Amino acid sequence: MPPLFSSCLTENGWKQLLKTSPTQCDTLCLMKSSGSGRNLSIHVILALALYIAAAVVQHFFSATHPAAIAVRVLALVLLAWAASRRRSLTGWIFVGMLAGIELGVDAPHAALAGRVFSEIFLRLIRVIVAPLIFGTLVTGIAGHAEAKTVGRLGLKSLLYFEVLTTIALVIGLIAIDVSKAGVGLNLSSIQTTAAAPTTLPQTTLTWQQFLLHVFPENIASAVADNQILQVAVFAIFFGLALCRVSEAKRAPMLRLLESLTEVMFAFTNFVMLYAPIGVAFALAFTVAQSGLGVMLNLGKLALTLYIAIILFALIAMLPALLLARLPLREFLRAVAEPATIAFATSTSEAALPRAIEAMEGFGVPRKIVAFVIPTGYTFNMAGSALYLSIAAIFTAQAAGIHMSLGRQLAMLGVLMLTSKGVAGVARSVLVVLLATASIFALPVEPILVILGVDALMDMGRTVVNVVGNCLASAVVAKWEGEFRAEKASTEAVAALQS
């Protein structure tokens, strides 16, 4: 049950009102939260205005330095109060970002000494990577073993997913290479001994050495050395082998690994509670080390992602829709509400029930939409693919590491593999990004800096994930000749027209 729906059921008076569909519950919950949060939004805007005004005054009138600091601290206290009232991790991360900038500017020595608190967060995230990648890949492969019985539907869906995801990765790669958002950040001197160990050096490898390095010699050693590519290869073979055994023997192992995956997602959410502190001290250290220029780089990074999203919509999604001869306006109307839920929650899974219902009302048969959209949550996260390719190259640029075209293409191949199955949960792409950094011997500190604008970027990439999966179901239905071949349920049609 999606978070919005479950929270709605706990509200007295709404239970009787919403007896029809969980979709309407999601919508009204968003309306309710929007109305009740209006005053908080006003407080946030005022606090931000106060903070910016104090910073501007200090910049032009140095004599006001102590008073300006006091006003900015007051503004941070007001923002922290608003974040506590809204109980939003995103809000706390934003407060942590501002607090880190403030600490780096006003107390650089303390900021440098507090670096250990950001490294604690990195360690907590790293311990998640191997079991989460293993669990998601195995369940993604073995859990869809029934797709063999679906025949053409399964093959066409997977083909569409991989083509769109590859296009997204390439567009992201080109966008960040053009914008060079990380160039000039100069974080190469911030690398830490706590960085993930790797046996893949940055010097040129022969193709034989690289190919040999891909395959694990000992899975325990691969996990201990944080060799995520080897863990992923082991997971693929394990998942394929699991598909070959009988249902009676496969089911217990699959349930165990599904439980492992759920536990690791819960572990990730638990660790993310420490994210505001980790982000604060990471940004404080970066600002103390490199100056306020880091904020310009982060702004360019966020702008790069949104330009890449627009390009992906025009180059990949729109042609797919037109080639399938789907009605554009009707499709946009159908996906408007799932996209709104995704944008508000930054979680693809929260929009899943509404997306399925909306696509059925749009004309996709239930048997197709029920297969394609859930499968797409494992194999078709184009928005996350865009983000990952941009963020990975940004990390290298920020560290002053030149990556050849061949190495960048190798990174795209790794991202296609490691990103499967983890993008449906908010901020889980951080795990994939750290795994990729480990494989290619990139420093991890720029990734923590990216967290400062991750909430802003997360909303855009989540919308692309949801809309992309909705489009996939319609394209596959058209491909199968079953689009609007049967009448949609009354509930789905009513929800679409509401």
Would you say the pTM of this structure is higher than 0.75? no
CA-based angle 91:96:102, to the nearest 5? 130
| Residue 340 Cα distances to 31, 333, 336, 374, angstroms | 11, 11, 6, 19
What is the distance between the alpha carbons of residues 390 and 182, in angstroms, rounded to a whole number? 10
Which ranges of 480-497 would DSSP assign to H, the alpha helix?
Answer: 490-497
| Residue 36 Cα distances to 31, 32, 42, 102, angstroms | 9, 6, 11, 30
Query: What pLDDT score does 490 carry?
Result: 53
**Mean pLDDT on 363-367:** 82
Burial of 26-46, coded b for 16+ CB within 10 Å and e otherwise, reads: bbbbbeeeeeebeebeeebee
pLDDT over 70 (residue 307)? yes
The residue with tokens 């951080």 is 430
Residues 6+ apart with CB under 8 A from 160: 320, 380, 472, 475, 476
**Mean pLDDT on 313-329:** 92
Binned at pLDDT 50, 70 and 90, residue 488 comes out as low
The answer to whether 327 and 321 have CB atoms below 8 angstroms apart is no
Q: Where are the domains of the chain?
A: 3-113, 145-229+289-497
The answer to whether 314 and 446 have CB atoms below 8 angstroms apart is no
CATH number for the domain running over 145-229+289-497: 1.10.3860.10
pLDDT over 90 (residue 32)? no
pLDDT over 50 (residue 149)? no
What is the distance between the alpha carbons of residues 54 and 42, in angstroms, rounded to a whole number? 18
What is the distance between the alpha carbons of residues 431 and 423, in angstroms, rounded to a whole number? 10
